[in-house]
Amino acid sequence: MSESIRSDTDVQILDKDGSVLPDATVPDLDDDTLVEMYAQMRLCRSFDERAVSLQRQGRSGTYSTMLGHEGTLVGSAFALAEDDWIVPYYRDQGATVTHGLPLENILMYYMGHEQGSVIPEDVNVMPICITIADHIPHATGIAWASKLKGEESATVCYFGDGATSEGDFHEGLNFAGVMDTPNLFICMNNQWAISTPFERQTAADTIAQKAQGYGFEGIRVDGMDPLAVYTVTQQAREKALDPDADQARPTLIETLLYRIGAHNTSDDPSAYRGEEEVEEWREWDPLPRLETFLRERGLLDDEEIDAIEERNTEQVEAAVEAAENVTADPEEMFEHVYAEQTQNVREQQEYLRRLREEFGDEQLLED
């Protein structure tokens, strides 16, 4: 299946071995930015491995890995401006962190601390959405608001192929087409919606072609090629903010990639897919492809890679320490539901407070 990536995609720049395809155009990024993109992808890989380790040690809850998704997440986030919004689901850590979300927020979220969903004021990222696809209409609403307010910002919404079978996907994209909102809908088609294969997800040949039904452009890109994803996202963003007369603002970007790891730390993928398939796709791993590209240009060597790894390890460990030093308060679950608490939320908070006073936290947890 992986050998067909190029023929199945509209855009690909790097071949499987990291060389530039003969008919491809490398994006106009300076050398430092290209190395920074690689370093950020390695940070995502290191963070992912550490987060899984924490879950296995019982120090964190169930975690969804992004192994194999780094090219899409980092490549697309590099194409965004600071004022752009990201509306994520549960596998977008690479994009949200690249857009400014502290690593410890991700860890706090998976450790069950409400503070993980408290986004810093200067970071345009919405909290993680665990439910499937219901963040898509929110992304459309944010983009519509930006358009009405005359802001120069696009709204990017990430989701998986399984989300395209939900009603919220169709409602969000239909509304975006009708209201011509500055949205980028990035579907990471990683071939498996937990145990449901892509061919059982839709009878359509591609997800990108669904955009035609909503009146805007759909494009399919090699999602394990960070340079291709950057290019497509950058062009879609430009169109969202300043379209030609015959162009619609929204774009549906289908990034064709593979979930190399399990769906999450509660999943056993060997129950529904073969290791041969995994190994075939692993050959398209976005990290070695970009690393080869940079080495061949003289922008990267072993010494620089070691330095990047050392910095990443320090950053990840600092985030782990910060997250584990948080003292959680159960009442925080009521603090950030609305900008201002409603009467109903205040009553629920007061009810929990009375229970804790009457029975104590230890007995409440046991019963």
Lowest mean pLDDT among 6-10, 74-78, 269-273, 348-352: 6-10
What is the value of pTM for the model shown? 0.94
- Token digits of residue 263: 């769906």
Is the pLDDT reported for residue 2 higher than 50? no
pLDDT band at 5 (very low <50, low <70, confident <90, very high): low
| Rg, the chain, Cα only | 21
The arithmetic mean of pLDDT across residues 333-355, rounded, is 91
DSSP collapsed to 3 states, the chain: CHHHHHHHCCECCECCCCCECCCCCCCCCCHHHHHHHHHHHHHHHHHHHHHHHHHHCCCCCCCCCCCCCHHHHHHHHHCCCCCCEEECECCCHHHHHHCCCCHHHHHHHHCCCHHHHCCCCCCCECCCECCCCCCHHHHHHHHHHHHHCCCCCCEEEEEEHHHHHCHHHHHHHHHHHHHCCCEEEEEEECCEECCEEHHHHCCCCCCHHHHHHHCCEEEEEECCCHHHHHHHHHHHHHHHHCCCCCCCCCEEEEEECCCCCCCCCCCCHHHCCCHHHHHHHHCCCHHHHHHHHHHHCCCCCHHHHHHHHHHHHHHHHHHHHHHHCCCCCHHHHHCCCCCCCCHHHHHHHHHHHHHHHHHCHHHHHHC
Average confidence score pLDDT of the chain: 94
Active-site hit among 56, 272, 297, 338: 272
The answer to whether residues 68 and 117 touch, using CB atoms and an 8 Å cutoff, is no
Q: Going by DSSP bridges, is the β-strand pair 217-222/196-197 parallel, antiparallel, or unpaired?
A: unpaired
- Token digits of residue 20: 């530039």
Per-residue pLDDT tens for 160-182?
Answer: 999 999 999 999 999 999 999 99
Active-site hit among 42, 237, 263, 289: 263
pLDDT at 333: 87
Per-residue pLDDT tens for 294-315?
Answer: 999 999 999 999 999 999 999 9
pLDDT band at 327 (very low <50, low <70, confident <90, very high): confident
- Concerning whether 272 is annotated as a catalytic residue, the answer is yes
The arithmetic mean of pLDDT across residues 231-251, rounded, is 97
Per-residue pLDDT tens for 202-213?
Answer: 999 999 999 999
The arithmetic mean of pLDDT across residues 60-69, rounded, is 95
pLDDT at 364: 74
CA 139 to chain centre: 14
- Token digits of residue 346: 């205040």
The arithmetic mean of pLDDT across residues 131-153, rounded, is 97
* Position with higher pLDDT, 74 vs 363: 74
| Burial readout 87-124 (b: 16 or more C-beta within 10 A, e: otherwise) | bbbbbbbbbbbbbebbbbbbbbbbbebbbbeebeeeeb
Per-residue pLDDT tens for 9-28?
Answer: 789 999 999 999 998 999 99
The arithmetic mean of pLDDT across residues 279-287, rounded, is 95
pLDDT band at 7 (very low <50, low <70, confident <90, very high): low
- Concerning whether 259 is annotated as a catalytic residue, the answer is yes
pLDDT at 4: 46
- Concerning whether 311 is annotated as a catalytic residue, the answer is no
Contacts of 283 (CB under 8 A, 6+ apart): 2, 16
The arithmetic mean of pLDDT across residues 220-241, rounded, is 97
Is the pLDDT reported for residue 128 higher than 80? yes
Percent of the chain's residues with pLDDT above 90? 88
The arithmetic mean of pLDDT across residues 239-266, rounded, is 96
pLDDT at 47: 97
Burial of 58 (0-12, 13-18, 19+ CB in 10 A): exposed
The arithmetic mean of pLDDT across residues 226-244, rounded, is 98
Active-site hit among 42, 69, 91, 259: 259
The arithmetic mean of pLDDT across residues 21-36, rounded, is 96
